[in-house]
Structure 1
Amino acid sequence: MLCLTARLRRSSAPKPVGAVFASFPDWAHEHPLTREDPALSELISRTAIVIYGLAVTPHRRRRGIARALLTAAEEKARSTGYRLATLIHQPELKPFYERLGYTSAHHVTIPMPHAALGVTQPPPFMTAVNALHPGVRIRTVPGAPGPVVTGLPPGWDIRATRFEDGELIA
């Protein structure tokens, strides 16, 4: 679990004006593929992090605090070996997260050695993903319902892929 707070430096009694919370993704243990494969669940828990909350007090917004918190959380995750940052957000926040380097969609596919793991958010929510490691790529694949994340398992990259009838064809 990661929790970072932002405080104003010039205050004599600095109160938090923002916070970010992150941990391993619930789907690392709850997805049908990972429930049957403890090693896969453990791998995802060590390589993907979910930002569960990013908040800034209303009167302090639009000052770069959220960006600084998210960047600090990503740096902390990257330094401990995480390869992918994910978060769930409402559609109106898509431009904000895209400016910070995230790719947003209702469905994200993550190919694994034996199957493709799909992460889908029910409308109106969306999943945003951002590579934290140079070996991780977020790609547009013909026919895919959303972005495809390759390289989450180290060394696992699919170069030529397409989707047919809802299945990833490598």
Structure 2
Amino acid sequence: MITLPPFRRPFTHGPAPCLTARLRRSSAPKPVGAVFASFPDWAHEHPLTRDNPALSELISRTAIFIYGLAVTPHRRRQGIARALLTASEEKASSTGYRLATLIHGPELSPFYQRLGYTSADHVTIPMPHAALGVTQPPPFMTAVKALHPGVRIRTVPGAPGPVVTGLLPGWDIPATARFEDGELIA
């Protein structure tokens, strides 16, 4: 885990895991894969967080974004990407992160779904007084995975995609919640 001192945006700050995979049986192991994560851009750039530094910081400490996952072409389909992603999730969870997010092309949906992610064009995160929506431009998708038992990825009637509840205490919705005309009715 790399921890950088705080810098003014657009520089990153806080915990930023960068993990590499190397083959053990090699006498001079070179990296065959890597994963990099940090806080999600929407924690600072979404209209609900842009002018609210406390909320932005709070989300930055609870949601981690996988920015890059790569394996050299001749080492793919050997479980390296799975191992890197799992190790990143475990490190994030052990340091208090409650949600993992990433962006991917639709062809990778089955891979991420096998690892416990839910993929969609749009993901909603309810907060105490509003709902934060994360939408990717086509053809990209957002994938989310709960890293804490209090976080749930739910289907809510009328919602444009999955709804992440429990990211923080009080950020939940009742079982009767629904969406009407793009608004969350709790």
**Superposition TM-score, scaled by structure 1 size:** 0.97
Per mean C-alpha deviation after superposition, the further-off stretch among 120-129 and 34-43 is: 34-43
> Which SS does the other structure have where 2:61 is aligned?
helix
How far residue 36 of structure 1 moved from its aligned partner, in angstroms, is 2.0
What's the counterpart of residue 122 of structure 1?
Answer: 137
Q: Are the aligned partners of 1:135 and 1:155 in contact in 2 as well (CA < 8 Å)?
A: no
Q: Are the aligned partners of 1:91 and 1:126 in contact in 2 as well (CA < 8 Å)?
A: yes
Per mean C-alpha deviation after superposition, the further-off stretch among 156-165 and 37-46 is: 156-165
Per mean C-alpha deviation after superposition, the further-off stretch among 159-168 and 98-107 is: 159-168
Counterpart Cα distance in 1 of 2:171 and 2:136: 25
How far residue 39 of structure 1 moved from its aligned partner, in angstroms, is 1.3
> Which SS does the other structure have where 1:96 is aligned?
helix
Per mean C-alpha deviation after superposition, the further-off stretch among 65-74 and 34-43 is: 34-43
Q: Are the aligned partners of 1:20 and 1:53 in contact in 2 as well (CA < 8 Å)?
A: yes
Q: Are the aligned partners of 2:104 and 2:143 in contact in 1 as well (CA < 8 Å)?
A: yes
Alignment root-mean-square deviation, CA: 0.8
Q: Are the aligned partners of 2:43 and 2:60 in contact in 1 as well (CA < 8 Å)?
A: yes
1:88-117 deviation per Cα after TM superposition (whole angstroms, max 9, x unaligned)? 000000000000000000100000111000
Counterpart Cα distance in 2 of 1:103 and 1:84: 12
How far residue 22 of structure 1 moved from its aligned partner, in angstroms, is 0.1
How far residue 153 of structure 1 moved from its aligned partner, in angstroms, is 1.6
Higher relative contact order (CA 8 A, sep 6+): 1
Counterpart Cα distance in 1 of 2:26 and 2:63: 36
How far residue 155 of structure 1 moved from its aligned partner, in angstroms, is 4.1
The number of residue pairs the alignment matches comes to 168
Q: Are the aligned partners of 1:139 and 1:148 in contact in 2 as well (CA < 8 Å)?
A: yes
> Which SS does the other structure have where 1:129 is aligned?
strand
Counterpart Cα distance in 2 of 1:155 and 1:113: 6
Unaligned runs of at least 5 residues, structure 2: 1-17
How far residue 38 of structure 1 moved from its aligned partner, in angstroms, is 1.4
How far residue 35 of structure 1 moved from its aligned partner, in angstroms, is 1.1
> Which SS does the other structure have where 2:184 is aligned?
strand
How far residue 159 of structure 1 moved from its aligned partner, in angstroms, is 2.1
Q: Are the aligned partners of 2:127 and 2:172 in contact in 1 as well (CA < 8 Å)?
A: no
Q: Are the aligned partners of 1:6 and 1:19 in contact in 2 as well (CA < 8 Å)?
A: yes
Q: Which segments of structure 1 move beyond 6 Å, counting only runs of 4 or more?
A: none
**Superposition TM-score, scaled by structure 2 size:** 0.89
Counterpart Cα distance in 2 of 1:169 and 1:160: 11
How far residue 157 of structure 1 moved from its aligned partner, in angstroms, is 1.6
Counterpart Cα distance in 1 of 2:27 and 2:114: 33
Q: Are the aligned partners of 2:128 and 2:170 in contact in 1 as well (CA < 8 Å)?
A: no
How far residue 156 of structure 1 moved from its aligned partner, in angstroms, is 2.5
Unaligned runs of at least 5 residues, structure 1: none
